[in-house]
Amino acid sequence: MRTILILLLGLTSCGTPPPPAPPEDPDARKREVVALLATLEKNFYAHWGSVAATAEYSKLRPEDVPILREIADSNGEHALMSLRILEKRAPGERFSPAAKGILYWTVFARDTIYNRWGILSKDGFLPGVYGQEVLLLGRAAAPYFQQSLRDTRRIALFGTEEERTSRHQQDRVCDYAWGLLATIFNRPLAYHEDPRLRDPQIQELDLWLDRRGK
């Protein structure tokens, strides 16, 4: 009887197929990549744009290139970070200067802390990491950044001295767009602490760019 029971148990166990493997989530890796990009963006002022030196960069795989390209092409929240990673990891991925200009301007227009774009003072415009990269793009970025010459929202800087100076100067988005565009085109940039004395120069540059584009 015991032998029969063992045989029956054996037959039962052999006849039960293993449970099917759960279906693979095709978007799982994309979510992981997006999370890495979000961390890189959140910690920008820790690595200051040197993405290749970060732990997050080392976790990206060669097969992530299509995902990064898709994110960059979307011009969404992490598009610029994707572009900057692709330039390091997959330089064969080509972006036109105009496409890059759009990605930089999109971040510029929605940013809240502007240290990575530069510093404005009576001595002129000192570009930051992103500001320098926009200057290297040159005139291709102009049609997009010109739109920000009319954006009078106040900006913020971190750092005790930088924050105090910027607050005293009442620096705005349009002032930073002016600093970038005036540098690109070698136009006058006589910076005044009083924004009312900066506005005529900003308006003149805006009109000059309009005339140049016709």
C-beta contacts of 204-212 below 8 A and 24+ residues apart: 205/149, 205/178, 205/181, 206/146, 206/149, 206/150, 209/142, 209/146, 209/149, 209/181, 209/185
Q: With contact defined as beta carbons under 8 Å apart, do 162 and 45 qualify?
A: no
Using the predicted structure, report yes or no on whether residue 109 has a pLDDT greater than 60: yes
Query: Chain-wide mean pLDDT for the chain?
Result: 91
Please tell me the distance from the alpha carbon of residue 156 to that of residue 158, in angstroms, as a whole number: 7
Taken in order 46, 52, 55, 61, the sign of the CA dihedral is: positive
pLDDT in tens, 55-102: 999 999 999 999 999 999 999 999 999 999 999 999 999 999 999 999
Question: Cα dihedral angle (157, 163, 169, 170), rounded to 10 degrees?
Answer: 60
What per-residue confidence (pLDDT) applies to 5? 45
pLDDT in tens, 25-40: 778 999 999 999 999 9
Q: With contact defined as beta carbons under 8 Å apart, do 100 and 80 qualify?
A: no
DSSP state of 48: T
What per-residue confidence (pLDDT) applies to 9? 43
Residue 11's pLDDT band, with cuts at 50, 70 and 90, is very low
Residue 122's pLDDT band, with cuts at 50, 70 and 90, is confident
Using the predicted structure, report yes or no on whether residue 175 has a pLDDT greater than 70: yes
What per-residue confidence (pLDDT) applies to 8? 41
Number of alpha helices (DSSP H) and beta strands (DSSP E) in the chain: 12, 2
Please tell me the distance from the alpha carbon of residue 196 to that of residue 116, in angstroms, as a whole number: 25
What share of the chain in percent tops pLDDT 90?
A: 84
Could you give the 3-state DSSP secondary structure of residue 126? Answer: strand
